Amino acid sequence: MNDREVLIRDLGQLLVTQRLAVLSTHNAGQPYASLVSFAADPDLSKLLFATTRSTRKYANLTSNSRAAMLVDNRSNEEADIHSAMAVTATGVVGEVSVAERREALPLYLEKHPYLKEFVNSPSCAFLKLTVGTYYLVRRFQNVVEIHMPS
């Protein structure tokens, strides 16, 4: 396995094993961060999450769809400094279309079955971050950019 394959494997594992991500949105020059339950699609091109339409993050995304999402495997131990891995995904957020929903929703609920009612509620928006770039940080200081095909 070459270095690139190892990177993709590690990125994939991180996105599969972690349940929560920090979503960053902004509006009128003011950044805002919130915790979301997410799932990645198999080719890592989209990160799925859900939010009610009354939230600040949804309002921010409505006025500015560009966002970032941070996923990491820290355990709140000192050793995180050398052993934790973090990835920031940047891209554009939009609603999952009705056609996409047929595949995306089972994928999301497989990881978060307890959110079935929440995500199916009429007040909830089922969203996708279409990833432009992943920024992967390992060993405290190693950073690699992974640009997704457009």
Q: Give me the residues that bind another protein (CB under 8 A), please.
A: 2-5, 7-8, 78-79, 81-83, 88, 135, 139-149
CB of 49 to another protein, least distance (A): 22
Distances (CA, A) of 92 to 48, 75, 118: 12, 29, 23
CB of 136 to another protein, least distance (A): 9
User: Where are the extended beta strands (E) located within the chain?
Assistant: 20-27, 30-40, 46-52, 66-72, 86-95, 124-138, 142-147
98: CB partners within 8 A, 6+ apart:
none
Q: 30 or 142, CB closer to another protein?
A: 142
- Give the residue from 69, 11, 18, 73 showing the smallest Cα distance to 42: 11
Q: 55 or 83, CB closer to another protein?
A: 83
CB of 27 to another protein, least distance (A): 19
Q: 123 or 142, CB closer to another protein?
A: 142
CB of 38 to another protein, least distance (A): 20
Q: 46 or 112, CB closer to another protein?
A: 46
**What residue type is 64 in one-letter code?**
N
